[in-house]
A and B are shown apart, each in its own frame.
Chain A
Amino acid sequence: MTFVGEHQTGKPQSTVLAVEDLSRSFGGVPAVDGVSFRISGGEIVGLIGPNGSGKSTTVNLVSGSLRCDSGRILLRGSDISNRSAYQVARLGLTRTFQIPRVWGRLTVAENLLVAGTDVSDESATRALTRRRKLRQQRGELEERLFDILATLNLTPLANQQAEVLSGGQKRLLEFGRIMMSGASVLVLDEPFAGVNPVMCRALQDIIEALRADGCLVLLIEHNLQAVEETCDRVIVMATGKIIAQGSLAEVRASEKVISAYLGQAS
């Protein structure tokens, strides 16, 4: 299931991810309230806003972790609003979490292999009857695994249990999983939180490389410098609504944004 390569690399093209009038409330309190935006292939878009503005809920809705109350989410034109998280993942939309998540009791290499195989299709009987095809697939998979481990400087840790990794290394492993899965729409929840500047630079390079492969990236981030360096444009949310869109410089000048951040939104 490779989506990378389906797109031409380089210039942003037509809309890949479209969110239309998305709403979700918790116990009557709207967390996301009529949010709409479009993102094209090859674009890196930052989702920013003060705490409690609905960014995380938006990400959870888009990735299928939460169901929306109303509105639509279109991935390459097809409606994914009511798909479950695993179906959304299989359509090539992958997310990361605020605190990096790995399978701690699997090795680093196994973490990547799980992300890269169409595992759950391999019933025991099929594994027996299609050995040759599987062996060939396994060869390709291992090749990709070695490449990715090398790219992320994780090769020496390949056989370590993932739970011993540092926070930054877990973050790298998350990106490794994305690369292995061949996802083309990446939703990243604070990818630079709690990583040192060197690692931050490394992660930015990875994101840039994924974009060069045609991936679309939507990222939540509080580190505005990183946002400025990484994102083509930003979407600003406050109290569940989008209050501004554009380049970081543009939205910084917006009075709505300033007052939202300073807590004076009326």
Chain B
Amino acid sequence: MEAHRVNVLLHAIGFGLVTAAIIATSAVAFSLQYAVTDVPNFAHGELLTVAAYAAYETQQHGLGLAIGAAAGATTGAAVAYLMYRLVLRGFVWKSSRLVYTVAVTAGISLIIQNGLGILFGNAEVTLNLPSDQARHVGPFLWTQTDITVILGSLVALATVHLTLRHTPFGRAQRAVADNRELARASGLRIERVISLTWLMAGAVAGLGGVALATSRSTFGPLLGNSFLLVTLAAAIVGGVGRVYGAMIGALTIGLVTELSGAYFNAGYKQVAALAVLTLVLLVRPSGILQVQRTRAEA
């Protein structure tokens, strides 16, 4: 009896880690983009969706899932970039009020959802996944796809980390996120940093979208939108705009949702995510990684 309980717990944690990996890619992309460019992107979910459809489309042409993932990342990057260049740029430059950008991105979200519905139909499509047996990896029970998702996510997050910490471009990104006016006065090409950040965030979100699609296997135009809430929860729990916080937030939300699913009802997963979010906001309004921040500007 005792052993069974431990098993249920370990399986839930195993699922939780897979979910956390997917949330992490999505939330890191959201936070990175928000930190550098100040746009709370409510069309973020659609970056995941277009990537999932790109992977689906490559499969329709007989190509493998690895190419599907690459196609997803590329499509996510391209759509994010276009979103910025065609629509959001003016808002970013005028430092528009948050509520305007929220409204505009929510509009973009609907347009993309409907566009995908027109292109691919509103019925769900199915991704062909290698049929594989779940097997024990340490204490966890994972399929090959789960393992690929976790490893892929780790590689994506490590790439973001290395870029931010150890490249001149990453330093510029953090400088723009920290104090844009100072960055401008110091001669940084902010326009370029921001465009490239959309590209980068779009690629990471795209990978998250393909990972999400593999975990659901069937999906429709609302795939990413249904994932926006947990993404936001993770990003906010980690402290809005804090990329490393988003990773921790994803871990928290991923584990909590799967554990609540195992012990209560799978239907309550999103509720659990919101409960954690509310709790964290009550106790630590600026996220788990709360840091006293003295603003550079007066």
Residues of A within 8 A of B (CB): 63, 65, 84-86, 89-90, 94-95, 97, 99, 101-106, 110, 113-115, 117, 119-124, 127, 162-163, 177, 181
Contact = CB atoms under 8 A, between A and B. Distances in A.
B186 interface: yes
Interface stretch (B64-72, B173-181, B263-271): B173-181
A102 B296 contact: yes
16 contacts: A86-B184, A89-B185, A94-B186, A97-B182, A101-B181, A101-B297, A102-B179, A103-B178, A103-B179, A104-B295, A110-B171, A113-B168, A115-B186, A120-B188, A120-B193, A124-B196
A99 to B, nearest CB: 5
A106 B293 contact: no
Given A89-B186, A120-B189, 11 more contacts: A86-B187, A86-B188, A89-B184, A97-B185, A99-B298, A103-B183, A105-B177, A114-B171, A120-B169, A122-B167, A124-B169
Contacts of A120: 169, 172, 188-190, 192-193
Interface string B186-214: 11111011001000100000000000000
Nearest to A162: B296
A144 to B, nearest CB: 14
B131 interface: no
A233 to B, nearest CB: 26
Interface of B: 163, 167-169, 171-172, 174-175, 177-179, 181-190, 192-193, 196, 200, 293-298
Contact of A104 (B188, B189, B190, B293): B293
Contacts of B293: 104-105, 163
Contact of A99 (B167, B184, B187, B297): B297
A69 to B, nearest CB: 21
Contacts of B167: 122, 127
Most interface-central of B163, B169, B192, B193 (chain A CB within 10 A)? B169
Given A104-B294, A181-B187, A123 B179 contact: no
A85 B185 contact: yes
Given A113-B168, A124-B169, A163-B294, A106 B184 contact: no
A89 B187 contact: yes
Contact of B171 (A86, A90, A101, A117): A117
Given A99-B297, A104-B295, A114 B185 contact: no
B185 A95 contact: yes
| In the complex, the 4 A-B pairs of residues with the closest C-beta atoms, listed nearest first | A89-B187, A120-B189, A119-B172, A119-B168
Nearest to B294: A163
A199 to B, nearest CB: 19
Given A117-B168, A127-B169, A105 B174 contact: yes
B178 A121 contact: no
B182 to A, nearest CB: 5
A84 B190 CA distance: 11
Nearest to B192: A120
A222 B283 CA distance: 45
Contact of A105 (B163, B178, B184, B187): B178
Contacts of B200: 124
B254 to A, nearest CB: 26
Nearest to B170: A119
